[in-house]
Amino acid sequence: MDDDIMDIDDNSPAHYAGDGQSGVHSAAYFYNQYDDDIPLDPELMAGDDDQMDGLDDYDLDDEQMQDGFVDPEEEFIDSDTEEIRAEIHKFETVRDAWLAEHRADLPSAAYTVLPGVSKSMSKQINNSLKDGSTTTVAPSAPAPRPSRPRRKLGPRKPPRPPPEIQIRIAAARTAFDRREYQEAINMVKEIIRQRPATPQAWNLLSLIHEELGNREAATMCLISGAWLIPKDARHWMNVALYCLYGVDMMDDTDPRRKLALERAVMCYSQALQADKQNVEARTGKADALMQLGQSHLALAQYLRALKVQPLNIRTVRNLAEAALDGRDPRKNAEAAKAAYRHIIEYLWSQGDEVYEAMEGEFEWSDLRIYLEFFTILEQWEQGAAELKRVARWKLGRRAEEFWDRWPGEDREWDEDDERRELCEDYEPGRFSPVQYGRALPVDLRARLYVFRMKMGDIYEAEKHLTSLDPSADTAVEDFYDFPDCLKDIGNALLDNESPAKALQFFSLYEKIANQAGDISMDADILVSLGRCHMALGDKSAAEERFIAAIEDDEDNIEARVCLANMYEHVSDREGREEAFLLVRDAMNLEANQYTLDQEGNLVPKRKRRRATGPRKPRKPRDPNRPRDPNNPKKYVPRRLINAEKRKQVDLERTKVATKNYEIVQELQERAFHSDDSEAIQNWTRAARDLVEDFRSFKEFYPWDKYVKYLGLGGTGGGGAAVPSRNLKLAAMAERLRQGLNPENGDGTDNIPAASKARLLKFPSAHRGIPFSAWLDIFLSLAFALVRQNQHREAYVVCHAARDSVVWTATDSTYLIHVAWASCAVYAGDEETCVAIARYFMRDYLPGTDSYRMFAAMCRTCQTPVSWYTSGPAQKFILRQIKTMDALVMRQNGGQDEFPPPAASQRSPSKSQQQSPLKSRSRGGDLVAAPLTTASQQQSESNNNDVITLDNPQQHPPPPAGDITLDVALLTIYGHILFTTTSYSYALSYFARAASLDPENPLINLSIGLAYVHYALKRQATNRQYLLTQGFAFLFRYYRNRTEEDPTATIGQKMEAHFNMGRAYSLIGLGNLAGGFYRRVLEEAERVRNRNQEGEEESTAEKRSRWEETLVVEAAYNVRCMCFLLGDVKGAKAVAERWLVLE
């Protein structure tokens, strides 16, 4: 680090190292603020400078003293304080010896302070004793008790560090001067560890981090040090300036910018806590709040600052900016206008040509801002009067106050003296002609023209308009610095039904924008141009302007309303539909842009303000920020162009779709089977564009689905609670709705989707791409999005595919819902899994497969079972059971639906014949079974519709033996009750399932566990009975898995051993549980030995490869039991044998 940084004066602000900008402080400044506390305390020396020079007699040079305190060979100072104390004691011993030797040589020995006598009296007595005199000194009267000194105002100085801390700080600074930054950091950290409340240490650490380029760490060190002296307002302000360094060079979207501004606001707030009258801190806080976009908070700070400094022109300008950027400028316009008026009146009272205020001069730009508030408040007459009065004063004609007696005329600003000479008080030649007429800036004359037009004074307005000729040769030069005034003139002419003249001013603005390069054709000017073309009858050009405005600003309401007005009078139905969609879209945007204030009035949520005053010097225009690919631009169809041009537009969109489809096909393999992030990104972008193009085709969706896709199904965004601001807009929407009757549409809305698709006679392809390929694109995009953790967007894509009238076939809907379910499982979204499973259970194929899929999806989701056991899911399953019970009762003629199972029905083969919707595998698991022939005939006769169990009356009674109780359905509902700890209710449904399939291992296991868990509840009345019942069913399950079923696999046997061990562990019988866990390990050992010997595997062993193994779980439980029993060696042996990753 440069030496000059460390030599900065304590009372002068330091500049940032290497920058040179004034007012920006570096960390060195904060360190040198407390530089006087770093050297050794002079009281340690206990002598004057002459006495200190005597230390040279002991040959204690600088190196020896340095070795006595800080060893430069050490990497960092040891934290042992005893070593420091020993060094200090050694130094004090040398010092005392030196003082004793030199005091002995002094001519006057030290006097002795007598008890009860003042120091001065003791000195007199000692002197008299030395002289040998017997002068008696009378004791003086007791001194009056001194009064308590008044406490000094201002921030309290930080406490002086102890001597050992000062020594360490000096050593750290020495290391910093030698550029040994790591050693200095270690020393400072040790100081902070011993005594965190040391501001000098934090400031020095900040300085070191700044030298190393760690500005974030340097900032945090400064803030930490500032908290140790919270009453020092100046220090907080310096920290705030340090935080704000470089903010202007950051992009608005940079998170570092927001963090720096928030830190600055915090520092300024702490400075105001220490000094509430500090105007600099208050305006600094307000400036930071303005950059954060919190103009309402900044405005309050500016108002409080103006109470202390009402003539500060900079604060008034900032106040005006905050008032214009607020949600409701009318609310704060009066305060900003009064602040400007106060400055104007003060400068007016100071005499002619006095424009200098605090921190600046009153300029023409201030007058423009001042007049903006008259426009907001619609005070046209007062605005015109103030404009003329202040402009006259700025031009040096303050003495001509008689012009104020002519409020209805602007003759003083005419370009000639014809009308001015008619005024009696006017003295030609008193002032220069250049101070009249053309001396008025062109934008102020335009503002004066607007004021006159609003007041209805057409004659005076036309007088000003003659000086604002857009067709003049110098028009571009005259309006180049003030292009926004052309908008005001054009809008005023357009409101006065002069579209031809207005179009001239708007065209001049467009010409200047094309020449300047730093002015853009924003949505406002495009809408105004469209209104001109529409008023002149050129609807095609107006449509292009309105669509360009929507593409430039997707939140523009006026462009949509104007476009809807044109489309409403189009003869074809499509045009009126577009008008309806545009009106509904405008109403949604209105609801999102406006909110209700406390009085119930509609106020905008955000306000766009155009610039006031001349443009700044031109600079190269930054390129437009690229549009977010996740938020594509909405396509607005052209309805008023000719057929040839419309066909050309459609051809261009087809080319774009074809190109995107080629990209999708080319990158399909790389995007899904490799980790090429660029390929994934490009594929996703192309597929997203294709999906959006398909969704924008209205014929592919029902009317309500298409409206919902466009976001027009409701007000959205909480807008339902906000009434419509434009009653005409609401009336237009209702008129279009009644004319279109979208509820009935074309009379086919009541027809099923599949039938409607056949009526519409869709072609086999769209944009040259087959519909089967379109479906693949939809589903592949959903998979790609969910892999990128965008599962909500993936759901939207699946939902769009389901709502389309193109894919209504059973196979297509099945694929869509399977893909939807896969996305939900991948995302771990149990709520969506339950919803998709309900579709399969209710609409697709009610039966065992659907019920098993519901259970499998809920088990696969790695989430709590909140949705599996939720009220809606539980009620849905119960309705399915009740529906099935009703069908069985009707089938049996009202007889008991629970007949005791016959002996023949207890065999697996009879169980399969009993229920065509279910069957059992060899292991006793529930598997799917096909529908009977009668069911298939019933399905074909109903046009491929399946029987819906929610409403059995809509289908004729099924043939006898076609519908029976479903074991899977009863078991699922029993598990839901089991999970909610309703064991007694769960047992009843498990019992119903057991009556249908008594040898099913899953049912016996479920009943046994339900009894055991029920026995462990506090409310259990006969715990012994419940445990006996439970283990009876568990052993039935165990025997079925291990002994009775010769086809049981190794995995099924391990499962049985493990479940029995877990049951015994549950009731605390670890000795019995350990035996079953060992059987799991023995089975695994037997398989391992057989594989090592090379024996051929049986069919059951081959099937067990794909089953879930429980070896690790069993070994872990054995290890835990060994630990609990104190068998450490056994736990280690089990862990080394079974819990080591190979």
**1055 pLDDT tier (thresholds 50, 70, 90):** very high
The answer to which of 288-297, 508-517, 935-944, 1023-1032 has the lowest mean pLDDT is 935-944
What does the alpha-carbon distance between residue 121 and residue 115 come to, in Å, rounded to a whole number?
11
Angle at 302 between CA 299 and CA 305, to 5 degrees: 155
**62 pLDDT tier (thresholds 50, 70, 90):** very low
**785 pLDDT tier (thresholds 50, 70, 90):** very high
Higher-pLDDT residue of 351 and 512 is 512
Higher-pLDDT residue of 978 and 746 is 978
* Average pLDDT estimate for 494-522: 86
**Sequence ranges of the chain with CATH classification 1.25.40.10:** 1-105+160-229
- CA proximity to 629, closest of 709, 683, 702: 683
**Cα 247 to chain centroid, rounded:** 21
Indicate whether 401 pLDDT > 80.
yes
Kindly report the backbone phi and psi dihedral angles of residue 429, in degrees, each rounded to the nearest multiple of 5, phi listed first. Answer: 90, -15
**Helix pair angle (163-177, 199-212), 10° resolution:** 10
Q: How deeply is 327 buried, as exposed, middle or buried, from its count of CB atoms within 10 A (0-12, 13-18, 19+)?
A: middle
Indicate whether 144 pLDDT > 90.
no
Higher-pLDDT residue of 732 and 780 is 780
* Secondary structure (3-state) at 604: strand
Indicate whether 756 pLDDT > 90.
no
What does the alpha-carbon distance between residue 920 and residue 993 come to, in Å, rounded to a whole number?
13
pTM: 0.57
**117 pLDDT tier (thresholds 50, 70, 90):** very low
Q: May I ask the CATH class of domain 1-105+160-229?
A: mainly alpha
**1098 pLDDT tier (thresholds 50, 70, 90):** low
Amino acid at 732: M
- In the block, which residue shows the tokens 């437009």? 624
Amino acid at 605: K
Q: Which residues of 633-670 are buried (b: 16+ CB within 10 A; e: fewer)?
A: eeebebbbbeeeeeeeeeeeeeeebeebbebbeebbee
Q: What is the per-residue pLDDT across 271-317, written as a single tens digit (0 to 9) for each?
A: 999 999 999 999 999 999 999 989 989 999 999 999 999 999 999 99
Indicate whether 707 pLDDT > 70.
no
What does the alpha-carbon distance between residue 558 and residue 556 come to, in Å, rounded to a whole number?
6
User: What pLDDT does 2 receive?
Assistant: 40
Q: How deeply is 970 buried, as exposed, middle or buried, from its count of CB atoms within 10 A (0-12, 13-18, 19+)?
A: buried
**48 pLDDT tier (thresholds 50, 70, 90):** very low
What does the alpha-carbon distance between residue 229 and residue 867 come to, in Å, rounded to a whole number?
54
Indicate whether 81 pLDDT > 60.
yes
* Average pLDDT estimate for 208-215: 92
* Average pLDDT estimate for 568-580: 72
User: What pLDDT does 155 receive?
Assistant: 58
DSSP letters spanning 140-188: PPPPPPPPPPPPPPSPPPPPPPPHHHHHHHHHHHHHHHTT-HHHHHHHH
Longest dimension (CA), the chain: 143
Higher-pLDDT residue of 1104 and 589 is 589
User: What pLDDT does 7 receive?
Assistant: 36
In this prediction, what percent of the chain has a pLDDT beyond 90? 33
- CA proximity to 202, closest of 191, 215, 213: 191
The answer to which of 105-114, 735-744, 1019-1028 has the lowest mean pLDDT is 105-114
The answer to which of 508-522, 723-737, 1116-1130 has the lowest mean pLDDT is 723-737
Positive or negative torsion for Cα 289, 293, 294, 300:
positive
What is the rounded radius of gyration, in angstroms, for the C-alpha atoms of the chain? 45
Highest mean pLDDT among 68-82, 525-539, 543-557: 525-539
| CA end-to-end distance (rounded Å), the chain | 55
**846 pLDDT tier (thresholds 50, 70, 90):** confident
Higher-pLDDT residue of 73 and 164 is 164
The answer to which of 193-197, 557-561, 643-647 has the lowest mean pLDDT is 643-647
Tokens describing residue 990: 């498990």
Continuous segment of H or E residues that includes residue 357? strand 356-357
Exposure on the CB side of residue 506, measured as CA atoms within 13 A: 25
Cβ atoms of residues 812 and 834 within 8 Å: no
* Average pLDDT estimate for 404-415: 84
Q: What is the per-residue pLDDT across 864-877, written as a single tens digit (0 to 9) for each?
A: 778 788 888 888 88
Kindly report the backbone phi and psi dihedral angles of residue 770, in degrees, each rounded to the nearest multiple of 5, phi listed first. Answer: -65, 155
Highest mean pLDDT among 258-267, 397-406, 592-601: 258-267
The answer to which of 397-406, 954-963, 985-994, 1131-1140 has the lowest mean pLDDT is 954-963
**700 pLDDT tier (thresholds 50, 70, 90):** confident
The answer to which of 203-212, 345-354, 369-378, 781-790 has the lowest mean pLDDT is 345-354
Cβ atoms of residues 576 and 740 within 8 Å: yes
* Average pLDDT estimate for 247-263: 89
Higher-pLDDT residue of 314 and 55 is 314
Residues 6+ apart with CB under 8 A from 246: 260
User: What pLDDT does 1095 receive?
Assistant: 60
User: What pLDDT does 842 receive?
Assistant: 83
Q: What is the per-residue pLDDT across 1006-1031, written as a single tens digit (0 to 9) for each?
A: 999 999 999 999 888 899 999 999 99
Indicate whether 52 pLDDT > 60.
no
**446 pLDDT tier (thresholds 50, 70, 90):** very high
**77 pLDDT tier (thresholds 50, 70, 90):** very low
In this prediction, what percent of the chain has a pLDDT beyond 70? 69
User: What pLDDT does 253 receive?
Assistant: 84
What does the alpha-carbon distance between residue 281 and residue 249 come to, in Å, rounded to a whole number?
22
**188 pLDDT tier (thresholds 50, 70, 90):** very high
Tokens describing residue 1017: 């509840």
**727 pLDDT tier (thresholds 50, 70, 90):** low
- In the block, which residue shows the tokens 């290391």? 175
* Average pLDDT estimate for 977-981: 92
What does the alpha-carbon distance between residue 746 and residue 665 come to, in Å, rounded to a whole number?
38
Cβ atoms of residues 16 and 210 within 8 Å: no
Highest mean pLDDT among 597-601, 694-698, 892-896, 1058-1062: 1058-1062
Indicate whether 910 pLDDT > 60.
no
User: What pLDDT does 720 receive?
Assistant: 36
Quote the DSSP letter at residue 1044: I
Cβ atoms of residues 554 and 634 within 8 Å: yes
Q: Which residues of 748-774 are buried (b: 16+ CB within 10 A; e: fewer)?
A: eeeeebbebbeeeeeeeebbebebebb
The answer to which of 164-168, 255-259, 366-370, 432-436 has the lowest mean pLDDT is 432-436
Task: Report the DSSP pairing between strands 594-596 and 602-604.
Answer: antiparallel
Positive or negative torsion for Cα 691, 692, 694, 699:
positive
